[in-house]
Chain A
Amino acid sequence: MDRKCDKCNRRATHHSVEIVQGKKIEQHLCETHAAEAGLSIKAVNTPINELLTNFVKLHSGGQAMTAAQELVCDVCGLTFAEFREHTLLGCPHCYQAFERQISPLLERAHDGGGHHVGKVPRRCGSGQDRQEQLTQLRQRLDEAVTREDYELAARLRDDIHRICPPSPGSTERSDIPGN
């Protein structure tokens, strides 16, 4: 489990243990609070992260955003409220699930940029539907393996391979005993 910052809810990235007069003092801080304490330099993208956080907070009073709180990504289950708290999205589909809320925010963070310009992967045969289907299948596979439902797991694995054939020479890990 990732440890939270002593001063806020973000993930702690600086950990220290000091012994002061025989007492153990632990400190866990996020990048921002570590920087504040003089322990680190802020990450390169902090200004934008801050902008993002502030922007999200600023607009959270509005009705649109309050309603958006309830929004859920139906592929990974992330809620918009969770995104607001951590400013991290849960999966590629989140960009679609929260598109209306995120678009103005992206334009702010990227100096007006709203549409991608630049490199496009050659293997673009992987449409979004296919990518989402894969994410969902893999989630279900994980659950099946956890439940030890190996029959279902085997079927799901076949489905995954049908959509996404294993690359030649890759050593696919197997979660299924004897498979």
Chain B
Amino acid sequence: MTLRQITEHAGEWLRGAGPHSDVVISSRIRLARNLAGYPFVNRAMQRQRMDILETAKQQITSSHRISDSLFWVDMRDSPRLDRELLVERHLVSRQLVSAADDSPRGVAIGSDETFAIMVNEEDHLRIQVLRSGMQLAEAYEQINRIDDALEDSLDFAFSPRFGYLTACPTNVGTGLRVSVMLHLPAIKLTGQIEKVRRAARDLHLAVRGLFGEGSEALGDLYQISNQTTLGRSEAEILADFEQTVVPQIIAYEQQARAALLRDRPEQLDDRVYRAWAVLTHARLLTSEETFALLSHVRLGVTLGRLDAIDLRSLNELLLICQPAHLQRIMGKTMNPAERRIARANLVRQRLGVRRTP
């Protein structure tokens, strides 16, 4: 498996399945780890970073307990477009991609894209596991197994008082960051997003738009993540999401969807079919507009108002409409104006093929 082969399809986490996939797009867990006996990345010299990279890479690629099928991408010798592609697929962070060109760093990626292990990002190791729908327990089980496998021969920096030691004190302790990506179009349409923020704030969780800023969440996609990593166990952090916040927000969204269906079915259908009409006929599309329209189409699909496309294909469109994917699929570099044309063409083509007569 190589980078080239993964481009045209969405990874496992975007397959539009999994529990509560009508509201929960994906579950993501990340662990921050540092090797004992080395300075953190920001203070390590080039040679030490090389050492860390080689040691980690060796352990990751030789351990059968991590995965039978993964590939390694060295950031130093991968083209800019490839790196952008990985960012768009949520497999690496912007920070890893945009470090100095010669800075030793890389990522191991599971062929099914359920996990990625970044080496020499802010911490020596950033392990992440991605699943579609609400699958935090499964994701934690997998990441814990990877962590155990790495621990077989790597010594992690750890103190009894502060737990796993990280470069930034905001990650110290469990080093665990849980993020759940939610599609909340009905809550947004009915102006209740403040309810979501309040539910999250009570448990010290952060809410942000996946694309776009602050309250302006493009495509009505929101990410909820924990901020506390010290003084609460992995199980407690997970329970906040699984037992409290996520079920509550799912319930809000479903109530709002039911209310739309009951009280304003024409307005709802109008939204859905206008979005569909534009997507299937527009000749120029910005990614912002595409995300917004796809959100309404998705709402229509989950409520059974539109059956011309499935969730998986919608997720795929969300992914391939982004600049790097678009350029990879078209096989050339394009400026924003050219991308708008290519995006509209691609969307029409994808939606047309799947349209039932």
Are A89 and B169 closer than 8 Å at their CB atoms? yes
Give the shortest distance, in Å, between B145 (CB) and chain A (any CB).
Answer: 12
Are A113 and B232 closer than 8 Å at their CB atoms? yes
| Chain B 278-336 residues near chain A, CB threshold 8 A | none
User: Which of B155, B158, B172, B206 has a CB less than 8 Å from the CB of A106?
Assistant: B172
Q: Which residue of B lies closest to A136 (CB)?
A: B37
User: Which of A15, A76, A130, A145 has a CB less than 8 Å from the CB of B39?
Assistant: A76
> Known interface pairs A92-B165, A114-B231, A126-B155. Does A44 touch B208 (Cβ–Cβ under 8 Å)?
yes
> What separation, in Å, do the CA atoms of A31 and B98 have in the docked complex?
11
Name the interface size band of chain B: 35 or more
Q: Which residue of B lies closest to A86 (CB)?
A: B42
> What separation, in Å, do the CA atoms of A12 and B208 have in the docked complex?
22
Are B42 and A111 closer than 8 Å at their CB atoms? no
User: Which of A38, A41, A92, A120 has a CB less than 8 Å from the CB of B209?
Assistant: A41
Instruction: Select the residue from B48, B50, B160, B227 with max chain A CB neighbours within 10 A.
Output: B227
Are A118 and B94 closer than 8 Å at their CB atoms? no
User: Which of B122, B165, B174, B204 has a CB less than 8 Å from the CB of A118?
Assistant: B174
> Known interface pairs A48-B227, A117-B231, A167-B59. Does A109 touch B170 (Cβ–Cβ under 8 Å)?
yes
Per-residue CB contact flags for chain A residues 36-75 toward chain B (1 = under 8 Å, else 0) read 0010111011011100100000000000000000000001
> Known interface pairs A113-B232, A118-B232. Does A88 touch B39 (Cβ–Cβ under 8 Å)?
no
Per-residue CB contact flags for chain A residues 118-150 toward chain B (1 = under 8 Å, else 0) read 111111101010110111011100100100000
- Hey, which chain B residues are within 8 Å of A126, CB to CB? 36, 155, 158
User: Which of A15, A91, A120, A169 has a CB less than 8 Å from the CB of B62?
Assistant: A169
**Does B262 sit at the interface, judged by CB under 8 A?**
no
**Does B243 sit at the interface, judged by CB under 8 A?**
no
> Known interface pairs A126-B36, A135-B38, A138-B38. Does A41 touch B43 (Cβ–Cβ under 8 Å)?
no
Are A131 and B210 closer than 8 Å at their CB atoms? no
User: Which of A95, A123, A130, A131 has a CB less than 8 Å from the CB of B162?
Assistant: A95
**Does A173 sit at the interface, judged by CB under 8 A?**
yes
**Does B273 sit at the interface, judged by CB under 8 A?**
no
Are B36 and A170 closer than 8 Å at their CB atoms? no
- Hey, which chain A residues are within 8 Å of B229, CB to CB? 110, 113
Are B55 and A170 closer than 8 Å at their CB atoms? yes
Are B157 and A131 closer than 8 Å at their CB atoms? yes
21 A-B pairs with C-beta separation under 8 A: A2-B103, A45-B168, A45-B227, A48-B227, A91-B43, A95-B159, A95-B165, A110-B231, A113-B173, A113-B229, A116-B159, A116-B174, A116-B231, A121-B164, A122-B148, A123-B155, A126-B158, A134-B36, A135-B38, A142-B45, A169-B62
